[in-house]
């Protein structure tokens, strides 16, 4: 009688331990899934790099044109372009921030 109670208690204890351990088991993703995620990450970073490079080049060209206009003493055009840039830069920052939040782009901070 004692053995049967002991066996019953032991089986119940094992079942309870399995119930406790089951939610904490880590699900290991398959290799194909990991490779797809990595490939998507690489594609997103490549697109972001190209977009940022294009923005940098456009900005550099605008700065070069501005200084060349200043050097050629085309002051009205220089002032007009500077006014457009002063109004346009904050709009560009706001649009870029909204786009990054919407796309959940990977940043330097990992967010």
What pLDDT, in 10s, does the model give residues 28-86?
888 899 899 999 999 999 999 999 999 999 999 988 887 887 777 777 777 787 788 88
Tell me how far CA of residue 105 lies from CA of 60, 95, 102, 108, in angstroms: 25, 14, 8, 10
Cα–Cα distance between 106 and 111 in angstroms, integer?
6
- 106, pLDDT greater than 60: no
Residue 10, pLDDT score:
86
**Residue appearing with tokens 């699900």:** 27
| CA Rg value for the chain | 31
Residue 35, pLDDT score:
92
Residue 77 contacts residue 69 (beta carbons within 8 Å): yes
């Amino acid at each position: 009688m004692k053995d049967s109670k002991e066996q019953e208690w032991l089986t119940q204890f094992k079942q309870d331990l399995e119930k406790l351990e089951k939610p904490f088991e880590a699900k290991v993703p398959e290799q194909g899934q990991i490779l797809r995620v990595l490939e998507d990450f690489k594609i997103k970073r490549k697109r972001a790099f190209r977009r940022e490079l294009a923005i940098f080049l456009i900005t550099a060209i605008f700065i070069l044109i501005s200084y060349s206009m200043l050097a050629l003493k085309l002051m009205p055009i220089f002032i007009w372009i500077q006014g457009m840039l002063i109004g346009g830069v904050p709009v560009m920052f706001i649009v870029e921030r909204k786009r990054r939040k919407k796309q959940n782009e990977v940043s330097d901070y990992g967010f």
